[in-house]
Amino acid sequence: MSTAKSATYETPKKLHGTGKEYWRRLGNDLVRDRWLYLLLLPGLIYFIVFKYLPMFGIVIAFENYVPFSGVLGSEWVGLKWFQYFFRFPAWTRYLSNTLILSLMNIVFFFPAPIILALLLNEMRSLRYKKLLQTLLYVPHFISIVIVVSITFVMFGSSGIVYKLTQQLLGHTVNYMGSPDTFRWMIIGQTIWKETGWGTIIFLAALTNVDTQLYEAAMVDGAGRLRRLWHITLPAIRSTIVLMLILRMGSVLDTGYDHLILMANPLNRSASQTLDVFVYQQGIQSGQFSYASAIGLMKSVISVTLVVGSNKIAHLLGEQGLY
Amino acid sequence: MSKRSAEQILSPRSHLPMKVSTGPVGANATVGSRVFDVVNYLFVTLVAITTIIPFIYIIGASFATEYEIATRPMFFIPQDVSVNAYKYIFSSNKILRGFGNSLLITSAGTAINLFFTVTMAYALSKTRLRGRNFFLNLVIFSMFFSGGMIPGYIIVANVLNLKNTFWSVLLPGAISAYNMMIVKNFFQGIPQELEESASIDGCTDIGVLWKIVLPLSLPVLATFGLFYAVGHWNAYFGAMIYMTGAKEKWPLQVLLRELIIMSNGTAGDMTNMDADFVQPPEQSIKMAVIVVSTVPIMCVYPFLQKYFVKGVMVGALKG
């Protein structure tokens, strides 16, 4: 901070003074800044009510929460809901659906923005590149409901893609209501919606590449692909690792707002993930405690995964997330 | 190279043009390099076209007759231009009301967002504020840990009793911690002298914020206003879970879900469908509704694009 300080706005120093002096100056500061505290108040109330109360509300995962009795008055049941979940035979399906979808996301979606950013970076015409970027960023701002709606209109039983496959293959593919296509539809939608937007962070990293390296490599006779592989890609390695760590933290998040739009009874065996479970049990069936317990379990695993992958990044000599 | 901090990695420089190209130009170009260029240009152009083609198809088909959609395989410009789908939409009270609700939620929500964000950001931008670090840590902690879907739902539905009111979609997202931190950093960058001259003239902190700081921050407010507004326009989850008993307050996105996704026949949950939607609507009507719900986003997209590359990563991590 390089802001000039004046006599009226002295930053409070660490006050080692005697007790009385300390309280007097604290009182003075509070009175002086009373309007600032008033400005702080709405935001503070927001964070307490909508962020911190729900955090304490996690205790209902260990209770038999009944809305009438409230969070504090409900019966304490310990780990009942966790045991209940693991006694429920389908829990492996929920877990494997979640993991398969996440793994597919990392394998197919994660590299897409990196590749696209590298290719955009190789374009020499800045104006044309900018035009393409303008088009590529559009779907990020389209709501997920519209993305899924467009998919239904085009892939549903009266849609154009449905009819074209019928003509080409001679049989129909039930894109929107089959467990075999479900995951590919989700990954496809994600790639279509977020690849362009995802390039921004990698393009930013690419501007930091030392251009002298390219010149030196050209003198040594390295071709385009070799330069891409040996200079450009290593230069953005830190960013890739950082993004991968962040991705690890959400490996159990399958995007409930996206999935519950695509999930239906016909594709149930593939679409039931932990997120969908929390939504169906908690909000649709009102099993608040049960759903919170599964949600809590998910968060605990996620935090562990972030910490773990950050450790691995450190071992590999990367800066990591923290 | 690998020992760079997250802040450096995330530095917002992508909007600057690359000064030196990564390959040789003109006469120096080898055959391999030229082939690479041609393939690269074709491929990226193809990706961009794939990105945009569903929109073009939907817009074209929304103006086509039902017969043409059913019989012609793929087209972008209809042979018989028909505005029947739009006539239907603009005569349907349900969709018009949804559009109105979306406008109401977006404008009221954005106003609430800006009020909460600016007031808190301004207070926290003052390093002299006692307890500032505590409040900042409170905000930062909430960016990494959350109570999850169900406790949040219980607060809104059972504790605050906001079900079936517009407040249930306006209040829970009143501040984005990330945006607030960026605005706070921007306020910190405003020269202190400007504010001091006003406070010597007898302005309170609120007066300084209103008369000096806000007029200087209009571009920033416009940027975050736009991002918040797009978020409200696109949101459906809150309205879907909190407004189950108030269909007359549904925004467009929730109606769209009912009209297109749930009427497709694949959804088993047809119990809360309305009588006028049980019959699946015609394709052209579905497409026209998609167009109508997307047009507002397309109208603000040029402005969004102007700001987001700069705004998206400006270090919220900086103290």
* B176-193 pLDDT tens trace: 998 999 899 889 988 888
pLDDT at B13 over 50: no
Q: Side chain identity at B197, as an amino acid letter?
A: S
Instruction: Identify whether residues B138 and B177 lie together within a single domain.
Output: yes
Residue scoring higher pLDDT (B18 or A23): A23
Instruction: Identify whether residues B201 and B228 lie together within a single domain.
Output: yes
Residue scoring higher pLDDT (B304 or B123): B123
Instruction: Identify whether residues B55 and B145 lie together within a single domain.
Output: no
Q: Write the CA distances from B143 to A47, A321, B161, B176, integer angstroms.
A: 11, 14, 25, 9
Find where tokens 């002299």 sit: B128
B214: in domain: yes
B59: in domain: yes
Instruction: Identify whether residues B64 and B185 lie together within a single domain.
Output: no
Specify the pLDDT at position B189: 87
pLDDT at B310 over 70: no
Instruction: Identify whether residues B76 and B187 lie together within a single domain.
Output: no
Q: pLDDT by residue (tens digit) across A47-83?
A: 999 999 999 999 999 999 988 888 888 889 989 999 9
% chain B with pLDDT above 70: 82
Instruction: Identify whether residues B159 and B305 lie together within a single domain.
Output: yes
The C-alpha atoms of residue B76 and residue B94 are separated, in whole angstroms, by 29
Q: Structure pTM?
A: 0.85
Residue scoring higher pLDDT (B308 or A102): A102
Q: pLDDT by residue (tens digit) across B73-89?
A: 778 888 888 888 898 88
Query: What DSSP letter does each residue of B175-217 carry, written as one string?
Result: --HHHHHHHHHHHHTS-HHHHHHHHHTT--HHHHIIIIIHHHT
pLDDT at B6 over 50: no
Q: pLDDT by residue (tens digit) across A121-161?
A: 989 888 999 999 999 999 999 999 999 999 998 998 888 88
Specify the pLDDT at position A4: 42
pLDDT at B267 over 60: no
B78: in domain: yes
Instruction: Identify whether residues B77 and B169 lie together within a single domain.
Output: no
B90: in domain: no
Specify the pLDDT at position B308: 67
B11: in domain: no
* Rounded mean pLDDT, B286-303: 91
Cα atoms in the Cβ-side hemisphere of radius 13 Å centred on A118: 20
* Rounded mean pLDDT, A273-297: 92
B15: in domain: no
% chain A with pLDDT above 70: 94
Instruction: Identify whether residues B148 and B297 lie together within a single domain.
Output: yes
B13: in domain: no
User: Do residue B3 and residue A319 have CB atoms under 8 angstroms apart?
Assistant: yes
pLDDT band at A171 (very low <50, low <70, confident <90, very high): confident
pLDDT at A195 over 80: yes
Residue scoring higher pLDDT (A250 or A167): A167
Q: What residues of chain A, 85 to 104, have a C-beta less than 8 Å from chain B?
A: none
Instruction: Identify whether residues B300 and B153 lie together within a single domain.
Output: yes
**Local structure of residue A31 (DSSP, 8 states):** H
User: Do residue A46 and residue B6 have CB atoms under 8 angstroms apart?
Assistant: no
Instruction: Identify whether residues B169 and B246 lie together within a single domain.
Output: yes
The C-alpha atoms of residue B100 and residue B252 are separated, in whole angstroms, by 8
Domain that holds residue B51: 30-82
Asked which of A53-57, A245-249, A317-321, B275-279 is least confident by mean pLDDT, the reply is B275-279
- Residue B94 burial (CB count, 10 A): 17
Specify the pLDDT at position B282: 81
Domains in chain A, CATH or no CATH each: 19-76 (no CATH), 83-315 (1.10.3720.10)
Chain A closest-CA separation from residue B237 CA (Å):
7
Q: What residues of chain A, 227 to 286, have a C-beta less than 8 Å from chain B?
A: 227-228, 232, 234-235, 237-239, 242, 256-257, 261, 264-267, 278-279, 282-283
User: Do residue B172 and residue A50 have CB atoms under 8 angstroms apart?
Assistant: yes
pLDDT band at B38 (very low <50, low <70, confident <90, very high): very high
Instruction: Identify whether residues B52 and B146 lie together within a single domain.
Output: no
Please name the residue of chain A whose CA is at the shortest distance from the CA of residue B233: A143
Residue scoring higher pLDDT (B67 or B110): B110
Instruction: Identify whether residues B133 and B228 lie together within a single domain.
Output: yes
Going by C-beta distance under 8 Å and a sequence separation of 6 or more, which residues neighbour residue A4? B192, B193
Q: What residues of chain A, 156 to 185, have a C-beta less than 8 Å from chain B?
A: 156-160, 163-164, 167, 176-177
Please name the residue of chain B whose CA is at the shortest distance from the CA of residue A168: B73
Average pLDDT taken over every residue of chain A: 87
Number of independent structural domains in chain B? 2
B316: in domain: no
